Amino acid sequence: MTEPSPETTQQPLPEDLPNTEAAAPVEEAPPLDPITALTQEVDRWKDLAYRSQAELDNFRKRSAREAQETRAYANAELLRALFPILDNFDMGLEAARAESEKSMIFMGMSMVGRQLQDFLRESGVQEIEALGKAFDPNLHEAVSQEASADIAEGTILRVTRRGYKLKDRLLRAASVIVSSRPVPTPEA
């Protein structure tokens, strides 16, 4: 006969045994009559059905809202990729204007520029107004400061790169130069 292995003959450790001292005797509730029990069960299922219906309605509303938001902002990445092209186009337009405002190149580029601006407007894109406005770090990116005695501190003096919003979301902050206090001159 083979002897049992030590693994099978081990006694359970004290922490593995149920704690009989701490367990209080469970008092059983008095039995309910069947009609009361069924009424409670029906109420429980009704409550669950109402909660499930409310959760489903909330899910539908949330899904519709997310789908609408996705449609509204779906072109954001495409528009962001278009902005550097618009910047270069504007530099070309300014160069053509400097050459002659009556040249065919300038007039043709002006027409294309208007079409691009119309396209952006129809897509819900708005240019961020910056020139002469108070600096707002949520809409503007300060690239430099210039001392100015005439203009209040924190006012935008120049726009170096236009900023854009799609409806209420910022697509690109406007890069601006902001006024600062004039540098005091050392007295002799």
Q: Is residue 68 part of a domain?
A: no
In a domain, 149, yes or no: yes
| pTM (predicted TM-score) | 0.58
List the one residue out of 91, 89, 95, 96 whose CA is nearest residue 114.
89
Q: In this structure, is residue 141 part of a structural domain?
A: yes
d(CA 37, CA 57): 30
The per-residue pLDDT for 176 is 93
Evaluate whether residue 41 is within a structural domain: no
* Under 8 Å between Cβ of 147 and 183: yes
Q: Give the DSSP letter of residue 75.
A: T
Residue-wise pLDDT for 55-81, tens only, equals: 999 999 999 998 888 877 778 888 888
Chain centroid offset of residue 40 CA: 46
Encode pLDDT of 133-146 as tens digits: 888 888 998 998 88
* Cα(60)–Cα(66) distance, integer angstroms: 10
Query: What pLDDT, on a 0 to 100 scale, did the predictor assign at position 99?
Result: 84
pLDDT of residue 188: 46
Residue the block writes with tokens 């069960």: 41
Task: Tell me, yes or no, whether 136 lies in a domain.
Answer: yes
**DSSP letter (8 states) at residue 22:** T
CATH number where 174 lies: 2.30.22.10
The CA distance from 156 to 133, in Å, is 6
Report the alpha-carbon distance of residue 145 to residue 175 in Å, rounded.
12
Domain carrying residue 150: 126-188
Residue 185 maps to a domain: yes
Tokens 């005439």 belong to 150
- What is the count of structural domains for the chain? 1
* Residue 12 within a domain: no
**Per-residue pLDDT, 62:** 94
Amino acid at 86: L
Q: Which residues of the chain have pLDDT under 50?
A: 1, 188
Asked, for residue 17, whether it belongs to a domain, the answer is: no
